[in-house]
Structure 1
Amino acid sequence: MNCWRITKDSDEWTCFSEVGTKLEYEEYIITEEKYLEAIKTFWDETGVNQIYITALEQWSDGVESQNARKYLSNIWIGKAIKIDELLQLAQHTLRNVCWCKVEIKNRFFVHFGYDYYMYIGTDRDCQKAIAKTQQSGLNVEECISPYK
């Protein structure tokens, strides 16, 4: 299985909670969209059509501040989700509403770490996805997920 760590260039901020103090909301959104596009790009190149939630934690402060209660009430460990729902779950994870791992055994996974790190693993080498993600300004480096 191939695995990469996706990171942003700037280490000036590492968390959504820093919006308004270390960066503006608009700047945050640009970075968040790059991460979501990276997930979609690797998903498309891998060719999966659904993935399973294998770990999930919800943080009450984030759930309330992001108005995510309704969405998260329909999410549970073991649930199969498609790309649109994965992107929404990833967005909530990047915004500190929850933490999750999603996987389809020996095919594809997305894990989220501290300091705005994201880990993607696939059964393919995904050279097109790597190039597209790097062109967006994100860093892609081979790395074993510490959440595997």
Structure 2
Amino acid sequence: MTGAPGVTGASDAVGAPGVNGAPDAAGASAVPGEERLEGLVQYRVVKYTEEERTGARPAWTSHSDIGCSFGGEVLTAEAYAETEERYLAAVRGFAAAYGVSAVRVASLEIEPESTWWGRVGEGDELAIDDAVELARSMLREEFVWCLLSGPDGFFAHFGYDYYMYLGGPGPAEEAVGAARRSGLQVDGFTSPYWD
């Protein structure tokens, strides 16, 4: 599967001029060659604490880590599922914040082993509930990966190691707050999946 590893260099400013693809004072995108990002507010959503991000504390990064020990704690299926649900709630929350009820599938990579084989194709439109189930499969690395996009620039991108990128045409303060209250870390960050 494609998908970029988690990237560093987060900005504290979300959607500020010249940050995360928002235009600077001259109206230019802060991301060279990414004019289509102009005006989007983008967020990186992760489960990692600062200690885990810097490698000072070990952390699980995949569904396949269930049963493995990290810093003396074994990742259980229940603990994994709880974290996965927080991610999926964030997708739902951001979609609701932007008024999105359906998304399109783009850059689809799928293998015959996927439960989505024959059920989803490039350019398909999915209701948000179906998109959330597809996101679950991507988080579990179940032989499918794609970009999800909705009207007015809404997007959901999924990377390696449980990095997720969400955004849309303006701030999503309520969704950001809900994700943070659930224990996720949310910061302003340009998705590495724009081509």
SS in 1 for 2:166: strand
Deviation of residue 50 (structure 1)?
A: 1.3
| Structure 1 runs not aligned, ≥5 long | none
Q: Distance in 2 between matches of 1:55 and 1:105?
A: 17
Counterpart in 2 of 1:2?
Answer: 41
The 8 Å contact of residues 100 and 128 in structure 2, kept in 1 or not, is answered as no
After superposing on structure 2, the runs of 4+ consecutive aligned residues of structure 1 that deviate more than 6 Å are none
Q: Matches of 1:59 and 1:134 in 2, distance apart?
A: 34
Instruction: Please say if 1:125 is aligned against 2:171.
Output: yes
In 1: Cα distance, 2:44 partner to 2:76 partner: 25
Offset, 1:49: 2.1
1:72 alignment partner, SS class: coil
Q: Is 1:54 aligned to 2:106, yes or no?
A: yes
Distance 1:14 1:114 in 2: 8
Q: Structure 1 or 2: larger helix share?
A: 1
Query: Residue 105 of structure 1: CA displacement?
Result: 5.4
In structure 1, how many angstroms separate the alpha carbons of the residues matched to 2:111 and 2:124? 19
Corresponding residue number in structure 2 for 1:115: 161
List per-residue Cα deviations over 1:107-146 (Å, max 9, x = no partner): 2000001110000011120100000000000000100000
Following the alignment from structure 2 to structure 1, what is the Cα–Cα distance between the partners of residues 180 and 63?
A: 22
* Greater CA drift, 7-16 or 119-128: 7-16
Which residue of 2 is the match for residue 34 of structure 1?
A: 86
In the alignment, the residues of structure 2 paired with residue 74 and residue 54 of structure 1 have an alpha-carbon distance, to the nearest angstrom, of: 14
The Cα shift of 1:58 comes to 2.3
Aligned to 1:137, the other structure's residue is in SS state coil
C-alpha displacement of 1:104:
2.5
Alignment partners' CA distance in 2, 1:53 and 1:20 = 32
**What secondary structure is seen at the aligned counterpart in 1 of 2:85?**
helix
Aligned to 2:97: 45
The equivalent of 1:13 in structure 2 is 60
* TM-score, scaled relative to structure 1: 0.89
Relative to the length of structure 2, the TM-score reads 0.68
Q: Gaps (5+ residues) in structure 2?
A: 1-39, 53-58, 70-74
Q: Which residue of 2 aligns with 1:76?
A: 121
Contact 1:59 1:96 in 2 (8 A): no
Asked if 2 retains the 8 angstrom alpha-carbon contact of 1:9 and 1:137, the reply is no
Structure with larger Rg: 2
User: In the aligned structure 2, how far is the partner of 1:7 from the partner of 1:39?
Assistant: 12
Q: State the match for 1:25 in structure 2.
A: 77
Q: CA deviation at 1:55?
A: 1.7
Q: CA RMSD in A?
A: 1.5
Figure out how many residues of one structure are paired with residues of the other and give that number.
Answer: 141
